[in-house]
Chains A and B, each alone.
Chain A
Amino acid sequence: MRKNKKFFAALLVFSLGLFYSMRKVHADVVAPGPSGGTFISSGTLVVAGIVVLVIAILSYLLLRRIRKSSKKDANK
């Protein structure tokens, strides 16, 4: 249980850092070329990051459930 808490805490810290860096992106990322160092706001990217994180956490929890249920089946 403690291991899981640490894992989720580390994941949360990493994700917050990542989302912070995603607030604005360099225009070159979207359209390579002479953008003159402009930045564009990327609220959608942050929302996208959160959606991916939520799906990833739910998938992880499902995988854990699969492991536990298969263990039970094996013991039967």
Chain B
Amino acid sequence: MKNQSWKPVDFKSVFSNLTIYGSSHAIVDATCAAVILSLSQIHSVDLGGFFALVVLYNILAFGFQVPFGLMIDKWHIPLFSAIAGCILTAVSTIVLVFSSIIAVCLAGIGNALFHVGGGTISLNLTPKRATAPGIFVAPGALGIFVGTIIGKSGDFVSWPFVFLLLSLCVAMFMIGVPKIDYDQNNRESRQVDFHCLELVILLLLSSIAVRSLVGLAIVFPWKSDMILFITLTAAVVLGKAFGGILADKLGWISAATISLLISAPLLSFGANNPYIAIVGMFLFSITMPITLVAISNMLPGRPGFSFGLTCLALIAGALLAFTEFKFIFGNELAILTIILVSMAALFYGLLLFFKSFSFRNSKTYMKRNEGKKHAEK
């Protein structure tokens, strides 16, 4: 797999890669959600056992992306990882009938391998920019939504998932992968001032963890209305997809801080009103690709590890939402405070990020990358 056919990242390649990997992301997430939620219907699992399986899945799917990411960066195997992830996820749907724990393990490991492989590729489609990673990550929420509906309905059938996943594997193999920068000591990295590396990454990761916690802790009482639930999912998907594009156009700091600042009161005081809350969730999701790409740019040549770190922060926040903290953070003022704290962490983290590249703001950073792109052409 090391001798993959490298292709230049032209518009056609970016478009085809994002279409295939974005669709695969939605299908992988849908399959995993459907497998998990079908467990209690296929096997006689009590509430405690079901909870344990959900936690096990989350740990494998999110926590293990760090070691898998390091592995991909070392052996340069993102395509192999994405394909293996899809295959393992497909196998989990078949194994589900025989053993719940093996199905959960396969789904968790498959999900982790796919995410970190696809994430590595998406980070290199529009290098240093948030556009492609945002579009790659966005369909995940749609997949979880569809998978949840299928899993809860009790109509789970494995063959459509297996067929879709295997077809997407063939498509991934056919389109090849873009050129991926694994050079950890390139000229760019030597220009970075790394003295606050851990602090920048900690600040960015803490904002991701808070976003994960808030996303799970907020209760929307109107979510049982299917049309509103679909609109909410669409808002999250569009927020992540357009977040990257908006951030690259407007500047990362302004896009991230303004969107979080507006979303804080909307989500904390307007959760009962579907229209206000949906706008709030759209704005809240915008920061996702920004944090991902900022971390990746701080760690040149390590896209897999960077992607894994963001997922580790997601699970750290999600684990808190599995405890009694969920009720503490269910309070309006608590939600407002933690979103504002997360905004402050993100703002300071991004400021330090641009400082470490000796740029005063994201626009100068973007302009320089534009200049480099033209020079390369």
Q: Do A and B come from one complex?
A: yes
Asked if B55 and A45 make an inter-chain contact with CB atoms under 8 angstroms apart, the answer reads yes
Residues of B within 8 A of A49 (CB): 319
**Chain A contact residues: helix, strand, loop or mixed:** helix
Q: Write out, one digit per residue, whether chain A residues 27-53 have a CB within 8 A of any chain B CB (1) or not (0).
A: 101110000000011111100110110
**Residues of chain A within 8 A of B344, CB atoms compared:** none
Query: At the interface, yes or no: B143 with Cβ under 8 Å from chain A?
Result: no
Enumerate chain A residues within 8 angstroms of B70, measured Cβ to Cβ. Answer: 62
Q: Given A63-B197, A63-B201, A67-B198, does the pair A26, B327 have CB atoms closer than 8 Å? A: yes
Residue of A30, A51, A70 touching B50 (CB-CB under 8 A): A30
Q: Which residues of B contact A22 (CB under 8 A)?
A: 319, 322-323
CB of B55 within 8 A of CB of A44, answer yes
A25 lies within 8 A of B198 (CB): no
Contact of B52 with A70 in the complex, beta carbons under 8 Å: no
| Chain A min CB distance to B30 (Å) | 21
With known contacts A55-B67, A63-B197, A63-B198, A29–B55 Cβ distance under 8 A: no
Chain B positions within 8 Å of A63 at CB level: 197-198, 201
Instruction: State whether B312 touches A59 (Cβ < 8 A).
Output: yes
Give the segment of B6-14, B155-163, B186-194, B227-235 that binds chain A: B186-194
Whether the Cβ atoms of A70 and B323 lie closer than 8 Å is no
B190 contact set on A, CB distance < 8 A: 70, 73-74
Q: Which residues of B contact A43 (CB under 8 A)?
A: 52
Q: In the complex, A22 Cα to B322 Cα: how many Å?
A: 8
- Contact (Cβ within 8 A) B59 A26: no
B177 in the interface (beta carbon within 8 A): no
A72 to B54, CA, bound (A): 44
A40 to B55, CA, bound (A): 13
Task: Say whether A66 faces chain B, with CB atoms less than 8 Å apart.
Answer: yes
Q: Residue of A at shortest CB range from B53? A: A44
Give the contacting residue for B312; candidates A27, A52, A71; CB below 8 A. A52
A52:B59 contact, CB within 8 angstroms: yes
Q: What residues of chain A lie closer than 8 Å to B47, measured between beta carbons? A: 27, 30-31, 40
Task: Specify which of B56, B194, B323 is in contact with A67 (CB 8 Å cutoff).
Answer: B194
| Interface membership of B239, Cβ < 8 A | no
Does the CB pair A70–B192 fall under 8 Å?
A: yes
A52 touches B299 (CB 8 A): no
Interface check B367, CB cutoff 8 A:
no
CB neighbours (8 Å) of A71 from chain B are: 194-195
Inter-chain contacts of B302 with A (CB < 8 A): 66
Do the beta carbons of A55 and B194 come within 8 Å of each other?
A: no
Known contacts A25-B322, A52-B59; A60/B189 CB under 8 A: no
| Least Cβ–Cβ distance between B241 and chain A, in angstroms | 28
- Chain B residues with Cβ below 8 Å from A41 are 48
The 3 A-B pairs of least Cβ separation, nearest first, read A44-B52, A67-B197, A40-B48
Q: A30-B54, A52-B319, A73-B190 are in contact. List 12 more A-B contacts (CB 8 A).
A: A22-B322, A22-B323, A29-B324, A30-B51, A42-B51, A45-B51, A48-B55, A49-B319, A51-B59, A58-B66, A66-B302, A71-B194
Identify 28 residue pairs between A and B in the complex whose beta-carbon atoms are under 8 Å apart, listed by A's number.
Answer: A18-B323, A26-B324, A29-B322, A29-B324, A30-B50, A30-B322, A31-B47, A40-B48, A42-B48, A42-B51, A42-B52, A42-B55, A44-B56, A45-B322, A45-B323, A48-B55, A55-B66, A59-B305, A59-B309, A60-B198, A62-B305, A63-B198, A67-B194, A67-B198, A70-B190, A70-B197, A74-B190, A74-B194
